Structure 1
């Protein structure tokens, strides 16, 4: 069986790994338009549920991801004029370039051909393949070539955002809010390496216009943001890698397959960064597609049935997360409405922006803001993380020792 993955992001590389593990005789090629080591974005975040899946599907790459990941153990909320508050929870973050390095190396170890700087300008020029996986991002050329069939739709979010990096290392996942003369502006930040953090800045279009950010070039815009958030960055710079300001584009597709072409990751769906699940969902797509085609397919009818199974499984799994992401992004669009709440109530509103928490979560939040109860909560969550890690494949625990 010949498989071509168009796009060398986490979805394409991980699917190539799993498909090769299932059947080493498969001829699998990954085509990536950028150079090796080049990627957009800074760090990615994930949680235990993805790690559990990764260890179940390929413990080798999972152990490498775990060992390279930055472990953080709570959320911090800093809002101008309010005391700092904290939210319970823990997670993991990893530089996107490091994740791609791990997955690319694993794919090549298994015999996958990874071709970089392979710009797909004409989808019809793809090499012959039994299965073509379109994992070339939200602006997928393969999807758009058959746009009417796939029924792709794009919904543009209201707020403006910019994906930045900084050498300032945040202690943990941090939300920071500042009031300016033009209105509120805020960031989502998290460490992903010893000397780097992701720093996503977001604001309403009115604030963006009022601050003149649309008129500034990259250097001037970064300098403006550095001044606004100087109390959070300890004088360290910001870098936008030339991407500039964006509006989030929520991509959906009515159908995910067309003949021997199937959509995966952002080519099929995007999920707002406010819930930090884009990489997780892309890699879980790869798992589901690998399962669907595990036994191969004798003809086009068998392939169609396998791809339909994959699509159904993933759409069912995605539905609650997409609802949560929509509620989360809508909360940030209304953020100024919550700005005058007292610190503890404000951070709880931020935490419960999906509107799903039972009453006891509010009581837990209010009672764990002091040093002693907060420390006890962190210890409890740390023990839970370690216990969950202990249940993963024993031979890889040497690479899975928690650091936080």
Structure 2
């Protein structure tokens, strides 16, 4: 028998764009008139899908629609999706910060949430007073809170400032204390948004370790939203993929990450018009190990080029590329010269490819810079940036010293195919 601790049934959330309330007085009266006659709310039949990139036709929008899932006791459930997919709205509903438009949440036990920096903290109270305040909100007695006080303060690393009003804390200090309160006051369900990203690397490592202890050692349930796919891969057993307010997939975590990455198709292919009368790169495509824009450390990666040539037997062409990290620092450089190996000798579209059989880059975001030139005259035909991709440590155990972002660990030489 499954021990279900949290269940979401047909959860939907509708907002009216540009309005603070639910709508105008006439809309409220219309809702009431339908209700007294035992009819459905008329405004539930209208509204656009939550796609922030397009202009809608209705003043109503569905931030979430028909969300259904169950969470077992002791499970860590990851939630991933693009910005605006509905992740934070879902967590607010689960935490009972806001109510769903339709549907219901059934839970067994106390829920502690960490949704935004300073959530549930009174800025005028000291850190210690806020610990007691949060504990009282969770339904704990003063004696229970006092028994955990020293552990909370030690974990947060804010002992020197614990008697200082929270309004004088930095955002990182506030998050440290808020997470410590939520984790150590023993809620049955812990709900955490991307807020941990505010903390430094040391604290993030501590927080992830604590969440592992909470789920595996103490049998409590964690719902975790993050854009850090390696953290999701490390912590979560199952993961929900949200898209435009709907559940796109609920799968085992590594499969869910691959599905999420395959949704990101735009960046991995770069297409542009040919330059008349000159050699020109018309298409660049990155083929990652996991599909979409997601590349696993230590697996193969291919870069395909399509080059349009204005005439037959064009000589001295030079094709090269660099891979840059998110700090705009070049990590990799490779090239192929026509004077060494005849390439792109046919008029029209020619295809060449570069393959890394074992690309070892640390987790982080990268992009490609392409160069096309004449190696003899040194005339530069093209230079442009394209094709972003993300490297993650998928299926790899993180060492005690932690992974460094955007650092070259080891790269094989790779090879050109033409």
TM, length-normalised to structure 1: 0.23
The structure number with the bigger radius of gyration is: 2
The structure where strand makes up a greater share of residues is 2
The structure where helix makes up a greater share of residues is 1
The answer to which structure, 1 or 2, has the higher relative contact order (CA under 8 A, 6+ apart) is 1
